[in-house]
Each structure stands twice: as structure tokens, then as C-alpha cells.
């Protein structure tokens, strides 16, 4: 073999290696795109803004999600978390916990929350409220609003440290998290963990409502109906209630029903008899 042909062979081999490398990289990216498309969590802070996500992975998509998320998880903590979601949807709890542990170790706050829920409720593992609390605290400290609200759930529905919880929610709300804005709005409206401020609460609910958060839409309906924290606007209130009701919010449905039947008939003892509708 001549030197010239030997050099040409080396160049050809290098070209093939580079092409193989690029193919691997782009293949991995495609796996992640497909994993996101069918298994992303709408509330995951790691989720790209242009990915809508799905509250529950469709039964028909589970096998596909496991396939693509498993490949993508080799280089993505988000895919590891989504792989755990796919396993959980398939009732493969040990596999889900394993994926979430790995994702949590890499810093996924959503994985921390899911692990905390499983450990705190004893689902597929021995119940350990103390370990669950630590996971929720890690997630909350990193700005995940579900970490804050789940900490409250461990203490019977009220944060053990309302001031700290409000500060954590404030941090999370700055990332445009609808859930954090909603939860912070509730605390601000009730004066929990800080000053009561209806105007600030309404502004928070409005931001979350703009992202179609059902609870925030319902609260905006209530605030607009009563003129709390801003102008009264019955038409806007009805529109907010209708959007919230369409998303399944029961309080909004009840509010719309009350608007249809505003006149209450009571007996001589003041007990409710019926409502008059129009």
C-alpha cells in the first residue's frame, strides 16, 4: 500500500467516526424530543417552555415512552424523571423509584417530590415521613412549589413555618410557576406567613390564571365578582368561572350554579328550603 492510499484510508476512517458520532448525538436528541412529547410533566421546572406536557401518560403511549425515555435518560435528568413517570403509569413501582432516585441525585426537583410522595405514603416502599420531609424540603429549597405544598400536607395542611413557606413560594413564583403563584396568592390573601394584601394576591392569581391554572381562575372569578383587590366586574367573574369549570374546578361550577339561582328561600326558622333560578 502506498503512503498516499494509506493516508486516504485514515481520512476515510476519521470521516466515518465523525459521522457516527454526529448520528449518535442527533439520535439521542430525537429520543429526548419523543420522550418529552409523550411523557413530560406540565409542572416539571426542567420542562422546556415549548413543551406542553401531559398530566397523565396515555395508556397507549406508555410502552413508547419507556422505550425512548430509557435511551434519552443516559444523558438527561429530565428524561430520567419522565422515565419514572412512564414506569409508574405502567405500575412498575420499583423501576419508577429507581429512575426517580437517579434523577433526584442529579438535581431533579420533580423526582424529589414524586419520591417523597411514595415514601411518605408507603407506596411500594416502607412508609417514612421523615425521609419524605427531607425530599420535600430539598425540592422546596430549590424553588419547586409542590415541595412547599407537600411539606404543608405533612403537617396537617398548614406549613410548619409559614414565613419560610411564603419565602420559598415567592422564589418559585418568580420562575412563572402557575402553581407557586396560586399557592402564594392564597397565603397572601389570607395573611399567612406575612402581611395580608388583596391587591398583591389578585395580581398573583391573575398571573396564574393567564396560564390556565384552574384554582387561580376560580379565585379570579371570586375576586372580580366581589371587587376584592381591584375593580368589580361581574362579566369577567363569569368568564373566569366558566374557564375554571371547563377545567374541572368544582368551586367554579358551584359559583356558576349560584349565579343561576341567586334567590334563596328559607323557612321561618331561617333554614334553607330552595333556590329560585332564572
Do 143 and 218 fall within a single domain?
Answer: no
pLDDT confidence of residue 262: 66
pTM of the entire structure? 0.62
Residue 166 domain flag: no
Residue 121 domain flag: yes
Q: In total, how many domains does the chain have?
A: 3
Q: Which domain holds residue 227?
A: 176-278
Do 24 and 117 fall within a single domain?
Answer: no
Residue 227 domain flag: yes
Q: Which of 46, 77, 107 is the last residue of a domain?
A: 107
- 157-174: average pLDDT: 78
Q: Which of 96, 128, 160 is the last residue of a domain?
A: 160
CA dihedral of residues 101, 142, 116, 165 (deg, nearest 10): 170
Residue 267 domain flag: yes
* Per-residue pLDDT at 201 exceeds 80: yes
- 60-78: average pLDDT: 96
pLDDT confidence of residue 25: 41
Do 24 and 97 fall within a single domain?
Answer: yes
Q: Which of 85, 107, 129 is the last residue of a domain?
A: 107
Residue 168 domain flag: no
Q: Which ranges in the chain belong to alpha helices (H)?
A: 3-39, 62-72, 77-89, 93-105, 109-121, 129-141, 145-154, 162-173, 178-190, 198-209, 214-226, 234-246, 250-260
Residue 27 domain flag: yes
Residue 62 domain flag: yes
Do 20 and 101 fall within a single domain?
Answer: yes
* Per-residue pLDDT at 133 exceeds 70: yes
Residue 77 domain flag: yes
Do 221 and 267 fall within a single domain?
Answer: yes
CA 75 to chain CA centroid, nearest Å: 23
Q: Which residues pair with 53 in a beta bridge?
A: none
Residues contacting 50, CB < 8 A, separation 6+: none
Amino acid at each position: 500500500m502506498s503512503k498516499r492510499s494509506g493516508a486516504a484510508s485514515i481520512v476515510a476512517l476519521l470521516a466515518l467516526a465523525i459521522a457516527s458520532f454526529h448520528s449518535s448525538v442527533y439520535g439521542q436528541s430525537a429520543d429526548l424530543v419523543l420522550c418529552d412529547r409523550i411523557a413530560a410533566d406540565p409542572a416539571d421546572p426542567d420542562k422546556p417552555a415549548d413543551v406542553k406536557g401531559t398530566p397523565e401518560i396515555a395508556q397507549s403511549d406508555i410502552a413508547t415512552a419507556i422505550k425512548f425515555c430509557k435511551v434519552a435518560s443516559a444523558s438527561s435528568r429530565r428524561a430520567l424523571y419522565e422515565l419514572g413517570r412512564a414506569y409508574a403509569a405502567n405500575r412498575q413501582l420499583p423501576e419508577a423509584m429507581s429512575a426517580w432516585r437517579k434523577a433526584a441525585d442529579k438535581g431533579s426537583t420533580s423526582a424529589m417530590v414524586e419520591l417523597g410522595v411514595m415514601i411518605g405514603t408507603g407506596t411500594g416502599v416502607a412508609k417514612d415521613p421523615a425521609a419524605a420531609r427531607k425530599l420535600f424540603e430539598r425540592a422546596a429549597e430549590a424553588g419547586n412549589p409542590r415541595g412547599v405544598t407537600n411539606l404543608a400536607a405533612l403537617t396537617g395542611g398548614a406549613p410548619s413555618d409559614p414565613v419560610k413557606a411564603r419565602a420559598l413560594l415567592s422564589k418559585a413564583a418568580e420562575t412563572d410557576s402557575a402553581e407557586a403563584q396560586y399557592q402564594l396568592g392564597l397565603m397572601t390573601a389570607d395573611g399567612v406567613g406575612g402581611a395580608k394584601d388583596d391587591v398583591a394576591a389578585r395580581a398573583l392569581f391573575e398571573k396564574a390564571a393567564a396560564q390556565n391554572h384552574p384554582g387561580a381562575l376560580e379565585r379570579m372569578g371570586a375576586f372580580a365578582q366581589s371587587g376584592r383587590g381591584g375593580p368589580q366586574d361581574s362579566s369577567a367573574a363569569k368568564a373566569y368561572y366558566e374557564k375554571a369549570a371547563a377545567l374541572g374546578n368544582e368551586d367554579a361550577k358551584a359559583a356558576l350554579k349560584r349565579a343561576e339561582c341567586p334567590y334563596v328561600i328559607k323557612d321561618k326558622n331561617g333554614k334553607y328550603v330552595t333556590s329560585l333560578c332564572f
